Amino acid sequence: MTVSMSAVCLKLLTIFYLCSTALTGSGSNGVVRKDFKGSITIQCRFTEGDPDNLTVKKGLSEDQVLYREKDSEKNTITAEFRSRLQVYGKFPNLDILIKNLSSEDTGPYWCTYETFNKKTKQPEIKIGTGSVLLVVADADTEKKCEDSNKSLVLVSVVITAVVLLTIIVTFCIWILKTKNLRTTAKPRRVANNDVYEDMRGTIRR
């Protein structure tokens, strides 16, 4: 009974922890947590030099999300993101807004700039600032959070009931005890009466 109770408590705590971390947006070290159907703005910045193009890449396989050239307003957006991606700002510093996030969008996003090195006559890839690791809570986690909120309500109701019950039981015990005291006090009075009776007896004598 107590073992299963503590197991339930542990599970509730874990879910509660997951929920609270899912809800506390961005942290340090470039990890950004977002809700299911939320949105993110990736702020790609480049300070050193004059790059020719920017490619926003996603994941460890570095799939292309967005490609933009220096003197062009044209954004080449991958089909997966086309309906929900917007680009703001002036090259090379671009804000990339992605809406309607789902758990499939979880992963690292890289701001990779290419420059042409005139000395070596070779293109160079440089990572700008603004790369993030995006973590999107899935619909399932959201549902678990709702469930955990429900169970939290249930738990508080149960705790309130237990507290009330404890108060009632304590009160009952207290009443019984005082009643017992009165009943144990009675024989003494009886004894007193005996004394009185004894005295009456001596008076009568």
Ligand X SMILES: *[C@@H]1O[C@H](CO)[C@@H](O)[C@H](O)[C@H]1NC(C)=O
What sign does the dihedral 140-141-142-143 (CA atoms) show?
positive
Q: Are strands 75-77 and 63-69 parallel, antiparallel or unpaired?
A: antiparallel
Q: Which two tokens stand for residue 32?
A: 């950004």
Q: How far is the CB of 153 from ligand X (least distance, A)?
A: 30
Asked if 82 is part of the footprint of ligand X (rule: CB under 6 A), the reply reads no
Q: Are 135 and 31 in contact (CB under 8 A)?
A: yes
Asked if 39 is part of the footprint of ligand X (rule: CB under 6 A), the reply reads no
Instruction: Name the β-bridge partners of 136.
Output: 34
Stretch of 27-35, 112-120, 152-160, 167-175 contacting ligand X, by CB under 6 A:
112-120
Asked if 100 is part of the footprint of ligand X (rule: CB under 6 A), the reply reads yes
Of 126, 167, 10, 131, nearest in space to 59 by CA: 131
Q: How far is the CB of 7 from ligand X (least distance, A)?
A: 35
Asked if 114 is part of the footprint of ligand X (rule: CB under 6 A), the reply reads yes
Asked if 112 is part of the footprint of ligand X (rule: CB under 6 A), the reply reads no
Query: What's the CA gap between 113 and 124, in Å, rounded?
Result: 8
Choose between 95 and 114: whose C-beta lies nearer to ligand X. Answer: 114
Residues forming the site for ligand X (CB under 6 A): 52-53, 84, 100, 102, 114-116, 123
